[in-house]
């Protein structure tokens, strides 16, 4: 029977393991309230693109506005008394230098001036603190990005010390993405920076090739895995923060025998190929069991059963039986 053959060659085959990876942004934040109060405005919806500093929500500021006004009034009162004593201490110093008033009178004036100066500075700092506190009632985006889920509603009471905390929304920049991969501890001796990683979607389609650029020094106590990270450059339309994909970590590339997919037959759960072997000047198709490894493009890697130089039959295999004489057409 005429058949086509190919000569088995060695090709670098990746020794790899597949894990689940989570996509995360290097700039992702949960927006929580810094002050307690009732929400009076929500100016953003889930999925909205927001600019840095854009107002997202408003907490009722009326009580804090009153505190600010009270602090300003106290500051003005302390300032008036301070200004008066500033003039008074200058007048008392001139009288003392001229010998008109006593040292005791001058010391009392100095003490009054120092006290009113300290009171004024305290009131000034209190007013600034209250104004800074007032800014916390306006919730702003810390950077440009995409708003996440908004689980709160107008009228909800929110507070920074709630248990669990009041999460108002999230903001994800959705660029400078990373793949978070947890490697089992039994691979601790093999994992290192610079290892190649292939990122694939859930259907197995290759998204991109990248490399490990971060290796945690600790083992996660919950997952009993070692966290590694790899940068992601796939367009934002394809991947999003918190998306789960497949990650294939390549430990090494080992030269192995490879055969075309068409040469491999399966029977009774066993994989085999037909090898053209010469006996007495003639070629015979000999059925040979093989152990397959990973696929390499349109070929299988073979971990056992073949060696470089073997001639594998790639045509008419469905008509062959073990020991059948064959005539090579090429290879």
**In the listed set 93, 123, 141, which residue is the last one of a domain according to the structure?**
141
Q: Are residues 20 and 36 in the same domain?
A: no
Whether residue 200 is found in the same domain as residue 283 = no
Do 178 and 247 fall within a single domain? yes
The set of residues, in sequence order, having a beta carbon less than 8 Å from that of 247 and lying 6+ positions away, is: 18, 19, 20, 21, 179, 181, 197, 198, 199, 200, 230
What percent of the chain shows pLDDT beyond 90? 44
The chain-wide mean pLDDT, for the chain, equals 88
Return the pLDDT at 331.
45
Residues 272 and 293 in one domain: yes
Which residue intervals of the chain are DSSP H helices? 62-97, 103-135
Q: How many CB atoms lie within 10 A of CB 150?
A: 19
161 falls within a domain: no
Same domain, 101 and 188: no
- Mean pLDDT calculated for residue range 46-62: 93
Residue 330 has pLDDT above 90, yes or no: no
The pLDDT tens digits of the residues spanning 77-93 come to 999 999 999 999 998 88
Helix (H), strand (E), coil (C) string for 255-309: EEEEEEHHHCEEECCEEEEEEEEEECCEEEEEEEECEEEEEECCEEEEEECCCCC
Q: Are residues 204 and 235 in the same domain?
A: yes
Q: Are residues 292 and 322 in the same domain?
A: yes
Q: Is residue 155 part of a domain?
A: no
One domain, residues 136 and 34: yes
**Mean pLDDT of the 292-302 span:** 78
Query: How far is the C-alpha of 19 from the C-alpha of 112, rounded, in Å?
Result: 74
Q: Domain boundary at 254, 278, 302, which?
A: 254
CATH label of the domain that carries residue 186: 2.40.30.170
> Domain range for residue 190?
16-25+174-254
Same domain, 267 and 250: no
| Residue pLDDT, tens place only, 153-208 | 999 999 987 667 789 999 988 778 899 999 999 998 889 999 999 999 888 888 99
Q: Are residues 42 and 133 located together in one domain of the fold? A: yes
CA angle 211, 215, 219 (to 5 degrees): 140
Please indicate, yes or no, whether the overall pTM of this predicted structure exceeds 0.85.
Answer: no
Structural domains counted in the chain: 3
Q: What pLDDT, on a 0 to 100 scale, did the predictor assign at position 114?
A: 93
Kindly report the CA angle at 313 between 309 and 314, in degrees rounded to 5? 120
Under 8 Å between Cβ of 273 and 316: no
């Amino acid at each position: 029977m005429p058949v086509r053959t190919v000569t088995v060659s060695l090709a670098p085959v990746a020794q790899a393991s597949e894990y689940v990876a989570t996509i995360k942004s290097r700039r992702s934040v949960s927006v929580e309230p810094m002050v307690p109060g009732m929400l009076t405005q929500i100016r953003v919806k889930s999925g909205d693109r927001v600019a840095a500093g854009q107002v997202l929500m408003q907490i009722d500021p009326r009580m804090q506005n009153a505190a600010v006004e009270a602090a300003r009034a106290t500051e003005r009162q302390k300032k008036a008394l301070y200004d008066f004593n500033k003039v008074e201490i200058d007048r008392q110093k001139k009288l003392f230098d001229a010998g008109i008033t006593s040292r005791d009178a001058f010391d009392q004036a100095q003490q009054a001036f120092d006290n009113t100066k300290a009171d004024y500075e305290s009131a000034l700092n209190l007013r600034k603190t209250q104004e800074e506190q007032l800014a916390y009632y306006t919730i702003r985006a810390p950077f440009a990005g995409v708003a996440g889920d908004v689980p709160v509603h107008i009228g909800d009471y929110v507070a920074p010390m709630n248990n669990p905390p009041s999460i108002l929304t999230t903001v994800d920049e959705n660029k400078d993405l990373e793949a978070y991969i947890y490697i089992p501890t039994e691979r601790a001796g093999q994992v290192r920076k610079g290892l190649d990683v292939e990122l694939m979607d859930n259907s197995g389609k290759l998204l991109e090739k990248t490399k490990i650029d971060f290796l945690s020094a600790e083992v996660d106590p919950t997952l009993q895995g070692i966290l590694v990270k790899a940068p992601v450059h796939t367009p934002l339309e394809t991947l999003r923060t918190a998306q789960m994909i497949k990650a294939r970590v390549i430990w090494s590339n080992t030269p192995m025998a490879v055969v075309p997919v068409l040469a491999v037959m399966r029977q009774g759960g066993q994989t085999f190929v037909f090898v053209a072997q010469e006996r007495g000047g003639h070629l015979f198709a000999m059925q040979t069991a093989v152990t397959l490894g990973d696929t390499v493009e349109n070929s299988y890697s073979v971990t056992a059963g073949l060696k470089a130089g073997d001639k594998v039959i790639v045509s008419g295999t469905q008509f062959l039986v073990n020991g059948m004489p064959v005539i090579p057409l090429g290879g």
